[in-house]
């Protein structure tokens, strides 16, 4: 390996030294490559094995790689949903003719692009891999809604994206919805004093334009269900974004004898999955009216409560679903007066963990545990409706495993055979990593 190779990482994985950095990424041997679905990218991106995990490697300039590496670190410190940075690899050189990597002869050849290494987000997928034959309207709406939430969260911490699109986003299933993660931050900027309305609207306009183009691209390839309006889908991010941003940031005025509206505002934000870190409250000079305005709003209200009670770290909608089941469990066992932490521990050991442990080992890469639990609850509801009775959990589990889970694609790491080459971003129905769309209607999953 050339002496000039430079690795920048917060904690260096020794496995980085074993990857073939003296070879252009396009020519890496299949022994290092993991075949996963990718989104559109202006740079060459490939997935590789690194010390038992999967990482994404993007070739770019050293300046852009270091800039994006720093940006991802800053976003992580702000708890923004994004991929995890791993390293920047600079100083790459190809072996010149006559050099032999096998004999340890490191002869400098052509300069190769630098590389940004990020961790692959487990159970995540690009938008093109979230359907089989066609993109259904409800799936498109859920994707756009998830992207709107992501954009609001990023804007809330002062991040200007500059290139908002479905392609620059990864999606994880979240109890019937999706959770979105930023995967490409090379055009982004962080502003300590927050974003102006013009900056936010610029991002929103870029998002609308890009989404419309991406949906039209699917339509041109015959991958869009008949009657779906690409422009209407793209417009959806504007309405979703404005609705959420207004709920989080708008000031509200009410009479002093309507103090309950303060509690109502907090509850409304909690229901949206946000906590108020600070609130500005002002009264009029005559003391008859009160104005409130949230100052700092943090996402993850239900996530934090579930972590505090059970230690489970899941997506926000999954946390909401699990907490609902936990609360129902407390009612069923008539222990509402018990300490909440004790009841949560009993629910974890008597309800959640037995369901997760009942999943056969060979099926555990299908979905993450919290999503499996949510789907089991949904399956129990459908079975109970069909049978006109409360179906025992053991019967529900058997049906779910055999009729639903066993027929899904693995989403922990969706690997193609090592002998297969993948020419992404086009995802075709005959590739082994295509994932079926799973709307809330369970009959679509079988």
In angstroms, how far apart are the furthest CA atoms of the chain?
88
Q: CATH number of the domain that 59 lies in?
A: 3.30.200
Same domain as 290, residue 278: yes
Same domain as 83, residue 35: yes
Range of the domain at 238: 124-249
Give the domain-ending residue among 79, 98, 119: 119
Q: What is the pTM of this model?
A: 0.76
In angstroms, the CA 232 to CA 195 distance is 27
Same domain as 187, residue 98: no
Q: Which residue has the higher pLDDT, 205 or 444?
A: 205
In angstroms, the CA 345 to CA 322 distance is 13
Same domain as 142, residue 112: no
Give the side-chain half-sphere CA count within 13 A for 81: 28
- pLDDT on residue 180: 94
29 within a domain of the structure (yes/no): yes
pLDDT higher than 60, residue 228: yes
340 within a domain of the structure (yes/no): no
pLDDT bucket at 335, cuts 50 / 70 / 90: low
- At 281, list the tokens: 């409250």
- pLDDT on residue 40: 65
- pLDDT on residue 419: 33
- At 397, list the tokens: 């589990």
Instruction: For residue 335, count other CB atoms closer than 10 A to its CB.
Output: 14
H/E run at residue 171:
strand 169-174
Same domain as 152, residue 101: no
Give the domain-ending residue among 217, 249, 281: 249
Same domain as 129, residue 245: yes
DSSP category for residue 25? G
434 within a domain of the structure (yes/no): yes
CA atoms 431, 432, 438, 444: torsion sign: positive
In angstroms, the CA 185 to CA 56 distance is 14
- pLDDT on residue 37: 65
Same domain as 106, residue 128: no
Residue for token pair 């409304």:
268
How many domains are contained in the chain?
A: 4
336 within a domain of the structure (yes/no): no
Q: What values do phi and psi take at 95, rounded to 5? A: -70, 125
- pLDDT on residue 424: 31
In angstroms, the CA 368 to CA 375 distance is 11
Q: CATH number of the domain that 200 lies in?
A: 1.10.510.10
Residue for token pair 């997928």:
125
Give the domain-ending residue among 219, 249, 279: 249
Q: Which of 97-106, 262-271, 289-298 has the lowest mean pLDDT?
A: 97-106
- Please name the residues in contact with 181: beta carbons below 8 A apart, sequence gap of 6 or more: 81, 82, 83, 121, 124, 150, 169, 170, 171, 172
Instruction: For residue 410, count other CB atoms closer than 10 A to its CB.
Output: 17
What's the mean per-residue pLDDT of the chain?
82
Same domain as 223, residue 151: yes
Strands 252-255 and 169-174, by their bridges, are unpaired
State how far Cα 442 lies from the chain centre: 22
- pLDDT on residue 86: 95
Same domain as 293, residue 211: no
pLDDT higher than 50, residue 444: no
Q: Could you read off the pLDDT of 2-25 as tens digits, one per residue?
A: 457 899 998 878 899 999 999 999
Specify whether the backbone of 51 is left (phi greater than 0), alpha (psi in -120 to 50) or beta.
left
Same domain as 233, residue 133: yes
- pLDDT on residue 275: 82
Same domain as 291, residue 207: no
292-322: buried (b, 16+ CB within 10 Å) or exposed (e) per residue? bebeebbbbbbbebbeebbebebbbbbbbbb
Same domain as 424, residue 379: yes
Percent of the chain with pLDDT over 70: 84
């Amino acid at each position: 390996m050339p002496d000039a190779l430079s690795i920048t990482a917060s904690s260096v994985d020794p496995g980085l030294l074993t990857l073939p950095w003296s070879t252009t990424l396009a020519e890496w041997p299949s022994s290092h490559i993991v075949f996963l679905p990718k989104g559109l990218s202006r740079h060459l991106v490939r997935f590789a094995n690194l010390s038992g995990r999967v990482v994404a490697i993007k070739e770019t300039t050293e300046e852009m790689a270091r800039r994006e590496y720093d940006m991802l670190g800053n976003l992580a410190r702000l708890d923004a949903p994004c991929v995890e940075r791993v390293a920047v690899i600079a100083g790459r050189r190809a072996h010149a003719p006559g050099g032999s990597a096998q004999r340890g002869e490191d002869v400098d050849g052509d300069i190769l692009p630098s590389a940004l290494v990020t961790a692959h987000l487990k159970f995540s997928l690009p938008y093109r891999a979230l359907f089989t034959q066609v993109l259904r309207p409800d799936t498109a709406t859920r994707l756009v809604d998830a992207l709107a939430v992501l954009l609001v969260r990023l804007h809330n911490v002062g991040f200007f994206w500059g290139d908002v699109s479905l392609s620059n986003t990864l999606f994880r299933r979240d109890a019937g919805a999706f959770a979105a993660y930023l995967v490409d931050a090379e055009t982004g900027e962080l502003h300590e004093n927050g974003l102006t309305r013009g900056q936010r609207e610029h991002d929103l306009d870029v998002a609308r334009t890009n989404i419309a183009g991406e949906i039209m691209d699917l339509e041109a390839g015959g991958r869009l269900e008949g009657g779906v309006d690409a422009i209407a889908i793209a417009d959806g991010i504007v309405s979703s974004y404005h609705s959420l941003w207004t709920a989080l940031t708008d000031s509200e005025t009410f009479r002093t004898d309507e103090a309950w509206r303060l509690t109502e505002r907090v509850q409304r934000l909690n229901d949206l999955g946000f906590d108020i870190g600070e609130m500005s409250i002002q009264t009029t000079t005559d003391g008859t009216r009160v104005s409130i305005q949230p100052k700092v709003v943090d996402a993850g209200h239900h996530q934090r409560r579930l972590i505090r009670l059970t230690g489970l770290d899941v997506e926000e909608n999954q946390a909401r679903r699990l907490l609902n089941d936990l609360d129902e469990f407390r009612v069923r066992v008539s222990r509402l007066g018990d300490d909440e932490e004790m009841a949560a521990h009993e629910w974890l050991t008597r309800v959640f963990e037995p369901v997760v442990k009942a999943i056969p080992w060979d099926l555990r890469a299908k979905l993450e545990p919290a999503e499996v639990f949510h789907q089991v609850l949904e399956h129990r509801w459908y079975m109970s409706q069909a049978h006109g009775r409360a179906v025992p959990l053991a019967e529900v589990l058997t049906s779910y495993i055999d009729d639903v889970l066993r027929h899904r694609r693995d989403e922990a790491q969706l690997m193609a055979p090592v002998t297969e080459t993948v020419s992404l971003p086009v995802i075709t129905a005959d590739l082994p990593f295509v994932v079926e769309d799973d709307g809330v209607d369970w009959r679509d999953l079988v």
